Structure 1
Amino acid sequence: MLAAVAVLIYVFDLVTKYLVVEYLEKDPPVVVVPDVLVINVIRNSGAAFSIGTGMTIIFTIIATAVVIAIIRTARQLRSMPWGITLGLLLGGAFGNLTDRIFRAPAPFQGHVVDFMQVFPATGFPIFNVADSAIVCGGILAVFLAWRGYQIDGTRETGAEKDG
């Protein structure tokens, strides 16, 4: 499940980034749903929500570490929900890592292609499919941990947590 979700997210991220760069990057923003969704192509040298702009090499190292950690953790994986969660995180991390490694301005210093902007009047940051997968995977990880679901497929109950 982890591999299937990761590949699905990665391919969807690559295809959408290719399409917006190829057909929309040099154009003005495209209003898909007025006041709700705009396609606005930007290059982001920072992390999600443009945090840490200019620290691309640091985020490349962090993303690489996350990918390695997920792949190592996958050996103990026996839980379908955790497989989906880690697949979302892995696919998203690989998607943005691919941009950081291969896109301009230089290898391992590339800027991530962001293009989706929801509720543009609010100033909500522009993001991409990989960012969405990472955020959803993070939320799901917190939920699973909160509910006591373990990566090995077991579930810790409240009595076990209390000791």
Structure 2
Amino acid sequence: MLQIFIVAFIVVLDQVTKYLAKTYLKSMGSVPLIQNVFHFTYVENRGAAFGILQNQRWFFIALTVVTSVVIAYYLFARKQESIVFTIALSMILGGAIGNLIDRLRLGYVVDMLHFILIDYPVFNVADSCVVIGTMLLAYYVLFIANKKERRLN
């Protein structure tokens, strides 16, 4: 099933990059890939996006578990009509699981990707997948699902 492949691929990629960041980057702090544009910067994030709600570990674990169960239900228990919908939810679920593993295992989420040029907070592969998946889901809801609904009426 496509869903299982996407979720597993994202979780493995996310965990490998976080392992590499902890192993090699943690002691260095930050390494420029493109000076003053994009750096690999090691951060232990105990909050959510942009560092909000610091030290609310159990809240985020509970929220992630509930959200993941709902997404998994839609992915595996319901018939999927759109590849865009399937990919979007799979990306969100894979990213959620990647960060959940960190919260359960470490008590924080490892971040390492840093766009300095636009002063964007440090993030990771899982975060990227959640954001891209959410954008795909919005695209599906706004443009694809709407057309299907109009055809049925």
Percent of aligned pairs with the same residue? 31
Corresponding pairs, count? 150
Q: TM-score, normalised by structure 1?
A: 0.86
Matched residue, 1:106: none
Secondary structure of 2:33's match?
strand
Q: TM-score, normalised by structure 2?
A: 0.91
Gaps of 5+ in 1: 104-109
Question: Which of 100, 125, 131 pairs up with 2:121?
Answer: 125
| Root mean square deviation, CA, Å | 1.8
Tell me, yes or no, if the aligned pair for 1:148 and 1:157 is still in contact at 8 Å. no
Secondary structure of 1:42's match?
strand
Matched, 1:111 2:108: yes
Gaps of 5+ in 2: none
Question: 1:158: Cα distance to partner?
Answer: 8.0
Which structure has the highest helix share of the two?
Answer: 2
In the alignment, the residues of structure 2 paired with residue 44 and residue 138 of structure 1 have an alpha-carbon distance, to the nearest angstrom, of 21
Q: After superposition, what is the alpha-carbon deviation per residue over 1:17-49, rounded to whole angstroms, capped at 9, x for unaligned?
A: 001101110113100012221001010011112
Correspondence 1:10-159 to 2 at 5 A = 10-74=11-75, 75-78=77-80, 79-103=82-106, 110-118=107-115, 120-149=116-145, 155-157=148-150
Secondary structure of 1:133's match?
helix
Secondary structure of 2:148's match?
coil
Task: Give the 4+ runs in structure 1 shifted more than 3 A.
Answer: none
Question: 1:4: Cα distance to partner?
Answer: 1.2
Question: 1:125: Cα distance to partner?
Answer: 0.3
